[in-house]
Amino acid sequence: MSSDTMEAGSKTGSLQRYARVQIALHWIIALIIFGMVPVGLVMTRLDPSNLTNLLYELHKSFGLIVFGLVVIRIAARFILGAPPLEPNMPRWQIMAARVSHGALYVLMVLVPLTGWAATSACCAPVNLFWTIPLTLPIGGGFDTAGPIFLLHNIFTMAMVALVLIHAVAALYHHYSMKDDTLRKMMPRKR
Ligand code: HEM
Ligand code: HEM
């Protein structure tokens, strides 16, 4: 995952971007996660009702989709690499980018995985949109699920904090440093 110097995607003019599939996955996953967090916070605070059940089902199903997309995205990252970081970036920023990107990948796996594992332990079945059964073989009921849900919450909050810093850093590069960091992750103009 640290192969930032590998040639990735294609060259448009002099700008080396992420590959199309990586750009698409980055923004689709980000969009779903931006929806998942408020839905998670709301559904756990509502009284039981049909709406609450609907929100739980959507939360679990889109969470499973995030998990699948992240696995594909990590495979794509190993195969396609990434465009080089901006030249002349100070060493601390290079380290910060590597560490935070790695941590975001780890959290993008752990957040849905803990939700999936805990729900399987306490509250089977876990279905994808009411249909395809995807319950993990984990027993133990609420005693097992409780600590895993706690991890689910902690990892989610850590991911949200890191995403905020990540987004601010991207906007800082774009508007203040005026470099190509953000453009490398933007869809190509037709
Ligand atoms: C990127 C994916 C996910 C994100 C960002 C996310 C986020 C959250 C958040 C913010 C909460 C509310 C925590 C609280 O304040 O109590 C929550 C709760 C919950 N999540 Fe997720 N989640 C994700 C994936 C999943 C998956 C894949 C499942 C199950 C298949 C799942 C099942 C649950 C359940 C059952 C709760 C309620 C826990 C409780 O009652 O304490 N989540 N999630
Ligand atoms: C849930 C939200 C997000 C997650 C989980 C996320 C995650 C990531 C990860 C893991 C990478 C590293 C890609 C790689 O090298 O393989 C990345 C790159 C990038 N992200 Fe995000 N991101 C999110 C939202 C955003 C937002 C809102 C922005 C812009 C405001 C943004 C801008 C960028 C940019 C510009 C890069 C390329 C950085 C570089 O190559 O130097 N991301 N993102």
Summarize pLDDT for 86-131 with one digit per residue, the tens: 888 899 999 999 999 999 999 999 999 999 999 999 998 999 999 9
The pLDDT of residue 3: 41
Single-letter amino acid code for the residue at 176: S
The pLDDT of residue 189: 75
Which residues of the chain, if any, have pLDDT below 70?
A: 1-14, 190
**Closest C-alpha to ligand 1, atom 31:** 115
Long-range contacts from 154-157, C-beta under 8 angstroms, 24+ separation: 155/107, 155/110, 155/111, 155/114, 156/37, 156/40, 156/111
The pLDDT of residue 10: 47
State the distance from the centre of ligand 1 to the C-alpha of 111, rounded, in angstroms. 8
The pLDDT of residue 86: 87
State the distance from the centre of ligand 2 to the C-alpha of 51, rounded, in angstroms. 32
Stated pTM of the model = 0.93
**Closest C-alpha to ligand 2, atom 4:** 30
**Closest C-alpha to ligand 2, atom 42:** 167
CA dihedral 75, 25, 17, 106 (to 10 degrees): -50
Say if CB 20 and CB 9 are below 8 A apart. yes
The pLDDT of residue 88: 86
The pLDDT of residue 13: 56
The pLDDT of residue 87: 86
